[in-house]
Structures are given as structure tokens and as C-alpha cells.
Amino acid sequence: SAGWFRRRFLPGEPLPAPRPPGPRASPVLYRRPRFLRGSSSSPGAADASRRPDSRPVRSPARGRKLPWNAGYAEIINAEKSEFNEDQAACGKLCIRRCEFGAEEEWLTLCPEEVSSYPAAPCWVRGQLGKSGHYWALFDGHGGPAAAILAANTLHSCLRRQLEAVVEGLVATQPPMHLNGRCICSSDPQFVEEKGIRAEDLVVGALESAFQECDEVIGRELEASGQVGGCTALVAVSLQGKLYVANAGDSRAILVRRDEIRPLSFEFTPETERQRIQQLAFVYPELLAGEFTRLEFPRRLKGDDLGQKVLFRDHHMSGWSYKRVEKSDLKYPLIHGQGRQARLLGTLAVSRGLGDHQLRVLDTNIQLKPFLLSVPQVTVLDVGQLELQEDDVVVMATDGLWDVLSNEQVAWLVRSFLPGNQEDPYRFLKLAQMLIHSTQGKEDSPTEEGQVSYDDVSVFVIPLHSQGQESNGH
């Protein structure tokens, strides 16, 4: 139901030459994080007193029990190398809340078992509820450690954040006070005037979960002496709506018969130029006198001194002219164009998780103050769409979008799915075909010689069954 594919080399097939070590490709061995390690004599066992849930999770793909800490990520990553900088996770989203009073009450929005999609409906306070599902892609840089941690951690952070607001989710209107008290009789009116809805609680939970996960990654990497970061693209199906949260340069699009709808926005130094320049304006010490926050069409040279050249600052969306001073000859805060743009000459993304230890080469200038872990969240009301069986969401890391446009991906989707209606694995095969199309083959829609040398991971998510669930089927 959700296709995902990663190329595997066949026996005897020559492997590509390894990339030379460097700032963006340094070999980093993954050390299991502390919260997944324990004093037990069995390998990988964790201290039972620290486990959030020690019950085993069953993998539907294999029909075998997995350790508690495998969670959702094991379903996808069982076939994926630990040392690949792309990581992925998916599974059922279980949200529960325990209230202690005269009696114990559990508020459950979906089943506890992690299993394959689609899911059966469940009960919430005696009413039919909706199942939740979770998909996530993590594109690592500087090593795989941050991406692996995010794949094993983010869903737990999200579950905790949703459990903290679950009473507001199941209410007709989110109450001002979760404890049921009404301090002011006009509280419901204030909430209504603000336009606060249940979906706003889910958006807030996603934003808080990204922030919490970023803090966990920072602590774990520091404790294990590792470095690195990752982008994060997450889709959550809950209560008839699809929430797409993105921090980085991965992308998700909705493909329908007559529509292509972007569901995410890429965050690069270029797209967030004004925010980054504003930060450098307020806190100039972050640049340590080594960089200029101003943007010029090209890197200035000594011969430009005294000349009037084009520039723009944090308060400008347009351009103007200024006379070049000596300080303008410093390396620019943001340099390059398009996918070649770099923040402080180092990083190609402006949002993501990790990178707490990342510094500009041969300096003590940190990049983390300029990076945001907060995602942009897009809400798609699946229940309001007249869904067809071939309507899908395509999520992929930037390796796919480097060589394929939204229109080319949509063309491939529309060309493949109608002729394979009876194939139960058609979404998996579509994901495989999308990967194949990045390799510059003769039948590829990419321009001649255009090949993606980056890791590529893809989810193809059919929305038709999601719409059925939102209508109670």
C-alpha cells in the first residue's frame, strides 16, 4: 500500500568507487544511542526500567516479533543499510492518554499494534474513531547517525505530543482548559474567535515533536562523540486529514488525474535568505567578523572596491546599489545559486535536525544558530476530496527532485497506475520506477545524461483508502 524502494547491487555486480572522505562525506560509525542500550547481557537489550513500552512489536512484513525499540523504523529499515544517509520509517500511529481518578480511563485514537496499512477503525470514548498512520523520510548529511536517530525517535516524540492534547483532539472544539474548568464564561468564544480547531493541535504537536527530537539528537550525538544532521519530511494521516511536515529540501506532492498539488516547501539558504540575514543583523557576533551578511550577484573582488554594485539586505526582497567597502569583500553569508547555494559555505539546507556540533571549516563559527528544526506543516483535508483510486502522494528525498520535476513525476504516475489496477504491488512498483527514472536510462523522462548520484528514497501513498477511512469505511 505504501511503496518504498532502495537500489540493491546484485551478486557479482561491481560496486561504485567509494566517495573520498571530506567535510560532507566523512565516515561515521553508528553507535547505538544510550536510550537503546542497556546493561542486559543480550546484544542490544535495554534497561527495562527505561523502556517506554516493553511489549514486542510485530512486523507484518516478516511475521516475527521485533524488540520494542525497533518500533516503526524497523518495518522499513530492516532491508536498508545502517550506513546509508537516507533513512525512513512508517507505521500505525498509536495515541493514548491515561487519566487517574476514581477509575482509570484510556482515550485511544488508534490501535496499539504497529501494522501495515490499511487499518481497522477503533473506538474513542464509545464512538468510532479513525486510525492514524505515519510516514517519514530523513536525508542525512555528515554521516548517517542523525538520520538513524530521527527514524527511531521522531514518531515517539510525536506520540507524546499528541497524547498531551488528545482531549482537545476528540472535543467538538478544543477547550481553553484541558482540566475542564471554565475560569471565564467567555472562554469558548475566545477560542472560536481565534479560529482554533483540532487540526491546529496536530500542527502544534508536529512542530513540538520536531523540536523535541532535535534536542534528543543533540544530546545523543554529543554523548557518543558523533556529528551530523538530517532533513525530515513527515506525513501523518489522522482523523480524515493528511498533515505533511517538512524541514529541509525533501518534497511531497499530491498527484491526481487533473491536478498536481505541492504539499511541502523546500528550505534552503536561498529560500530563507531574509530570515538568515535578519539573524546576522541582530546578532553580528555569529559571523565572528569572517563573513558579510549582504548578498551580491557574485563574490566581490578587490577590483570592485569603490564601485557601485547590486546588493540586497535582510529587509529587501528587491535589489539596490551600494558602494563597495572593504568589509563587503568578506565571504558572503549565503553564496551560490539554486541547489548550489550554501550557508556559510558549508550547508545546503536551512532547516533540519541535528548539526549541533557543525562548524565552518577551520573556524569556531557554529551553523546551528542559523538552522531551524521547526517544520512547515501543510494540511490536506482528504475527506473533502473526491478521491480516485489512482490519487497518490509522492514523498521523496532531494535525490529524486534533483533530476525530476513535479510534472515529470506526475506523468510517470499517470502513465503507470491506470494500466496496473489489478496488481496488488503497483504502488511499490511505481516507487521502483521513479527510482529507475533517476538513473539516466533510455526510457527515463529526464534530460539526456541527467543522473542522480544522491541517495534516493521514495514513498508512494494511495489516498483512496485514506478517504474511505475518513468516511467511516
> 249 with 135, same domain?
yes
9 falls within a domain: no
Cell of 156: 515517539
> Within a domain: residue 326?
yes
pLDDT band at 85 (very low <50, low <70, confident <90, very high): confident
pLDDT digits (tens, 9 = 90+) for 362-416: 899 999 999 999 999 999 999 888 888 889 999 999 999 999 999 999 999 999 9
Q: Is residue 473 within 8 Å of 120, Cβ to Cβ?
A: no
In this structure, the answer to whether residues 262 and 293 fall within a common structural domain is no
Report how far residue 162's alpha carbon sits from residue 23's, in angstroms, rounded to the nearest whole number.
Answer: 37
CATH number of the CATH domain containing 147: 3.60.40.10
**Confidence label for 174 from pLDDT (cuts 50, 70 and 90):** confident
Q: Do 229 and 93 share a structural domain?
A: yes
Angle among Cα 155, 161, 164 to the nearest 5 degrees reads 140
The whole-number average pLDDT for the span 254-263 is 94
Query: Is 255 inside a domain boundary?
Result: yes
Q: Which residues contact 2 (CB under 8 A, 6 or more apart)?
A: 90, 117, 135, 427, 459, 460, 461, 462
109-164 confidence digits (pLDDT tens): 544 433 332 222 222 232 223 458 999 999 999 989 999 999 999 999 999 999 88
State whether 244 and 294 are in the same domain. no
The sign of the CA dihedral 384, 243, 124, 165 is negative
Of 314, 348, 382, the one marking the end of a domain is: 348
Task: Provide the CA 96 distance to its chain's centre, in angstroms.
Answer: 23
As separate numbers, helices (DSSP H) first and strands (DSSP E) second, the chain gives 10, 22
Which residue in the block uniquely carries the three cell numbers 569556531?
Answer: 364
Query: Domain range holding 282?
Result: 274-348
Measure the CA–CA gap between 396 and 400, rounded to whole angstroms: 6
- Cα angle 242-378-170, degrees, rounded to a multiple of 5: 50
In this structure, the answer to whether residues 235 and 282 fall within a common structural domain is: no
As to burial, measured by CB atoms within 10 angstroms (0-12 exposed, 13-18 middle, 19+ buried), residue 101 is exposed
Residue 17 falls within a domain, yes or no?
Answer: no
* Domain shared by 262 and 285, yes or no: no
Side chain identity at 122, as an amino acid letter?
Answer: C
Work out how many domains the chain is built from and give that number. Answer: 2
Are 199 and 152 found together in one domain?
Answer: yes
Q: Record the pTM.
A: 0.76
Residue 72, C-alpha cell as written in the block? 516503526
The pLDDT of residue 99 is above 80: no
Q: Are residues 403 and 311 in the same domain?
A: no
Q: Give the domain-ending residue among 302, 333, 348.
A: 348
- Helices 426-436/406-416 angle, 10° precision: 140
Q: What is the mean pLDDT of residues 192-210?
A: 90
User: Based on the domain organization, do 254 and 215 belong to the same domain?
Assistant: yes
**In a shared domain, residues 255 and 315:** no
Question: Is residue 106, in this structure, part of any structural domain at all?
Answer: no
261 and 326 share one domain: no
